[in-house]
């Protein structure tokens, strides 16, 4: 069923010769920078690609609440606790905007959640790692939300109107998230030697998984070519990953922390940092469900869904009652 909703696997980029007249006109609108709206005609593969990406993105926001949720009761001060709670609530909101954007493409939220709970739909690899110390709240805000912003700013200009518009607000909120994360890291880095060591340990554990968030290398990315042609993707996975490294290295230097990459060095000629090889075996393992927390994350989401059944039923019963009252009036 999920396979009918989304488009997966290697895509041949469609050329003018493969396209009907309708599809050529659609591509011409995209090339001219026109936004595609929900009621516009669109090729089935474009619709399915968007359902795949937007729903994966929505699931990431929802599952992404769990690693930080682990620290709400142990935040070091009331102020830190309120900030963390607000951030986690924002992530829930992002999930809802994104499910809303996916629904404009003709799928239901229930179908998408069913695929997540059955382990068929992906969500970002990053949320399958554990949060072992308070410093991880800093590292997530700084590196994970930092990477999310780099990936999502271009999405504000993507070809599908409802997705692009949802991204505008998401990005504004993500920038608060990144600032709060960096602020936690700064406090720890300027604290006692033990606190600075905690910050370094968090950077050591989150650095490489954060680089993996951008997806496989361009040579391995199955979706990039067609998604770029449709202007769903405006920059490649490797371009955005490079942007993240270039932006983050000076921030780590300011904190007095060391990026755990012996091959990291400034390349004068390219005007960018060179960095070491990513462990793609680890990435693939996490995608297959074998990361450190995959099973726990899914179990937690399924339990939350099942425990909330009575509340959803009550809402439906209330809505039915209201509708019956209006009909009678």
Q: Which is nearer to ligand FAQ, 26 or 214 (CB)?
A: 214
Residue whose C-alpha is closest to residue 40's, from 57, 58, 28? 28
Residue closer to ligand FAQ (CB basis): 168 or 258:
168
208, 204, 210: which is closest to 257 by C-alpha? Answer: 204
CB of 207 to ligand FAQ, least distance (A): 14
The number of CA neighbours under 13 Å toward the Cβ of 94 is 31
CB of 129 to ligand FAQ, least distance (A): 12
Question: Which range of residues in 111-119, 223-231, 259-267, 288-296 is near ligand FAQ by CB under 6 A?
Answer: 223-231
Q: Which of residues 95-134 bind ligand FAQ (CB under 6 A)?
A: 122, 124-125
For ligand FAQ, how many residues bind (rule: CB under 6 A)?
30
Q: Which residue among 5, 75, 91, 200 contacts ligand FAQ (CB under 6 A)?
A: 91
Residue pair 149/171 in contact (Cβ under 8 Å)? The answer is yes
Q: Is 212 in the site for ligand FAQ (CB under 6 A)?
A: yes
Residue 74: closest CA among 137, 142, 141: 137
Q: Which of 180, 237, 242, 248 binds ligand FAQ (CB under 6 A)?
A: 237
Q: If binding is defined by CB under 6 A, does position 151 make contact with ligand FAQ? A: yes
Of the candidates 147, 126, 146, 151, the one whose C-alpha atom is nearest the C-alpha of residue 64 is 126
Q: Nearest Cα to 278, choosing from 223, 207, 201?
A: 207
Beta-carbon contacts of 282 under 8 Å, excluding residues fewer than 6 positions away, are 208, 212
Residue number closest to ligand FAQ, CB atom:
64
Q: Is 254 helix (H, G, I), strand (E, B) or coil?
A: helix
**By CB under 6 A, is residue 154 in contact with ligand FAQ?**
no
- Residue of 143, 122, 151 whose CA lies nearest to 297: 122
Closest distance of CB 218 from ligand FAQ, Å = 8
- Residues in contact with ligand FAQ by CB under 6 A are 8, 52-53, 56-57, 60-61, 64, 91, 122, 124-125, 140, 144-145, 148, 151, 212-216, 221-224, 227, 233, 237, 287
């Amino acid at each position: 069923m999920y396979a009918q909703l989304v488009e997966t696997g290697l895509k041949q980029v469609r050329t003018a010769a493969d396209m009907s007249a309708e599809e050529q006109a659609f591509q011409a609108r995209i090339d001219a920078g026109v936004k595609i709206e929900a009621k516009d005609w669109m090729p089935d593969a474009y619709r399915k690609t968007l359902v795949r990406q937007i729903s994966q993105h929505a699931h990431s926001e929802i599952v992404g609440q769990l690693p930080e949720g682990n620290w709400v009761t142990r935040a070091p001060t009331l102020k830190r606790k309120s900030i963390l709670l607000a951030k986690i609530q924002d992530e829930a909101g992002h999930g809802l905007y994104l499910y809303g954007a996916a629904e404009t493409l003709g799928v239901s939220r229930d179908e998408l959640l069913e695929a997540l709970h059955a382990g068929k739909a992906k969500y970002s690899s990053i949320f399958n790692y554990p949060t072992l110390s308070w410093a991880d709240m800093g590292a997530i805000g700084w590196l994970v939300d930092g990477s999310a912003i780099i990936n999502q700013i271009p999405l504000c200009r993507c070809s599908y109107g409802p997705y692009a518009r949802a991204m505008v607000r998401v990005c504004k909120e993500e920038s608060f998230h990144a600032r709060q994360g960096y602020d936690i890291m700064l406090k720890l880095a300027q604290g006692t030697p033990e606190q600075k060591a905690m910050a370094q340990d968090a950077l050591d554990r989150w650095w490489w998984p954060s680089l993996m968030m951008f997806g496989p290398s361009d040579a391995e990315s199955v979706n990039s070519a067609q998604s770029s042609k449709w202007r769903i993707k405006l920059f490649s996975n490797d371009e955005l990953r490079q942007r993240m490294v270039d932006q983050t290295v000076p921030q780590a230097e300011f904190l007095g922390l060391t990026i755990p990459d012996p091959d990291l060095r400034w390349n004068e000629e390219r005007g960018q940092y060179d960095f070491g090889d990513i462990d793609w075996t680890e990435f693939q393992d996490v995608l297959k469900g074998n990361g450190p927390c995959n099973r726990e994350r899914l179990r937690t989401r399924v339990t939350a869904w099942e425990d909330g059944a009575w509340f959803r039923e009550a809402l439906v019963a209330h809505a039915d009652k209201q509708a019956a009252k209006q009909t009678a009036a």
